[in-house]
Amino acid sequence: MRTEEESSLAGTLEPAVAAHDLILDDIRIVVVGSRRVVQLVVDLPEDQTGSVSLDTVASVSRAASDVLDQDEPFGGRAYTLEVSSPGATRPLTEPRHWKRALNRLIAVKTQEGDKLIGRLLDVADDGPVLDIDGQQTSLKYPEIKTAQVELEFK
């Protein structure tokens, strides 16, 4: 859940991120002493595969820094800007996260405590469809406590 300050800042920074054909996946403002650390997570849109290049992350970082320097959201107080892309095993918390993980191996913990591992076959409006040991299993989003991509080494 974003704070009011994070939501406001997200609105300010989203155009700079979108100019690089990315989405602002997450924003956090962490107070460390008298400084603020602004953490941005940027990602490809759900219809794209692959990952965000380091060059693109650097470009977004420069653009976001320019916006923050112009806007001065912290009234001249010092801040540190950190821009990254989601990790390979990021939590799947939104439908677009699931869509970007199609055909990947997924680990799910249900609200009832069951642990499931299966290949993501499809993402329906109400939840994902996994292949678990050759059996198609449909889950509803409210049934899922946590989920993340499992790394596979072939």
Dihedral class, residue 77 (left if φ above 0, else alpha if ψ from -120 to 50, else beta): beta
Q: How far apart are alpha carbons 31 and 38 in whole angstroms?
A: 9
Which pLDDT belongs to residue 20? 97
CATH topology of domain 95-149: SH3 type barrels. (2.30.30)
CATH number of 4-84: 3.30.300.70
Compute the residue count for the chain. 154
pLDDT at 74: 85
Where are the domains positioned within the chain?
4-84, 95-149
Mean pLDDT per 10-residue interval, the chain, length 154 residues: 90 96 94 90 84 92 95 86 86 88 93 96 95 96 95 81
pLDDT reported for residue 134: 95
Q: What pLDDT, on the 0 to 100 scale, is given for residue 6?
A: 92
